[in-house]
Amino acid sequence: MNTDKEKSGTFTGSDNVQIFYRYCAAQPERARMVIAHGLGEHSGRYGNLVSLLIGAGVSAWVPDHRGHGRSGGKRGHVLHFMQYVTDLRMMIDRARQDMPTGMPCFLFGHSLGGLIALYCAQQFSDRVDGLVISSPALGMVIEVPAVKKIAGRVMSSVYPGLSMGNELDAAKISHDPEVVRAYENDPLVHDRVSARFFTEFMAAMQTVNQNAAAIKAPLLLQLAGDDHLVNAQASRRFFENLQLKDKTLHVYDGLYHEIYNETEAERRRVLKDLSTWLEAHIGQGGQ
C-alpha cells in the first residue's frame, strides 16, 4: 500500500492457513474498513483506496486471500469457497476489536473480493455496517461451454489441485499503461486457478446472486462501464434484487475493470463518489 503508516501481521485462518494482512491506522479515527482484493492479486495494490480512507479518518485492514500474495496456501486454490469467507470474517473480527461504540466497520470488495465480501455479508450480517463493492465477480463475461463445465466438475473431484491459467487479460484492467506494467511485473501477482477453485467459484456466484435479499447493510456498488473481466450486467441485476432502501449504484462509462486504478482523472471520480458515500454513512454509524 506504500503509506508511512502501514503495518503488517498474520493470523491463523481456517484449516491453519497463515493469512497475511496490512494495516493502516487513521488519526483521528472515525471508522474502520476491511478490504478484500481480487483474483490473482494482493493487498499491496490498494494504495489509492487506502490513502483516501486514511485521509477520511478510516483505518484500513487488507488481507491477502489464502493462495494469494504473502498468505499461505497453494496459489489460486481453495477446497471450499467458505474458506475465503471464514478468513475474511476473522479479519473483520480483528478489525472490530476494541472498536468504540457507535463507530462503523465497513467492508470493501473488488472483483473476486467483491463476491467474497457479499457472501460474507450474507452469512455474517451483524459484523458489517456498510458495503462498498467494486466490479464484483457475479457473472462471467463469456459463457463457459457445457463440456468445459462438466470437465471442470470431474477434475474438481479427481484432481482438485490441478492448476491452470486464469485467462485474465492484464491489458484490460486499466487504461493506465503504468498500472498494467506494474501488474505484469509484480512478483506477488499470479495467474493460477485450480479445478476446485473453478467449481467453488461458479457455485458461490450462484449462491450470492440467489441470496441478494440477505444483504442488510447499506451498499455502494461501483461498476466499470467497459468491463472485460466480469459481467457488469449480472451486477446490475443483483443490485435490482437487493431489498434495501439504502443502496447506491454508480456506473463509470468507458472505464476498465480496476476503477480505483484507472487514469488519474477517471480515478478521481470514483474516489470522490466513495468519499461522498463514506461521509454520509460515517455520521450515521454505518446505518
Whether 250 is catalytic is no
User: Which residue in 68, 227, 235, 281 is the catalytic one?
Assistant: 227
CA atoms within a 13 Å half-sphere pointing along the CA-CB vector of 280: 13
Q: Report CA-CA distances (Å) from 284 to 102, 124, 272.
A: 9, 20, 19
Whether 126 is catalytic is no
Long-range contacts of 271-274 (CB under 8 A, 24+ apart): 271/48, 271/49, 271/52, 273/220, 273/222, 274/49, 274/52, 274/132, 274/220, 274/222
**Grid coordinates belonging to 158:** 479427481
The residue type found at 143 is E
State the Cα–Cα distance between residues 41 and 44, nearest whole angstrom: 8
User: Which residue in 111, 156, 194, 235 is the catalytic one?
Assistant: 111
The widest CA-to-CA distance across the chain, in whole angstroms, is: 55
Evaluate whether 136 touches 111 at the Cβ level (below 8 Å).
yes
Whether 169 is catalytic is no
Give yes or no for a cis peptide into 28 (omega within 30° of 0): yes
Rg of the chain on CA atoms, in Å: 18
Which residues are catalytic, by number?
111, 227, 257
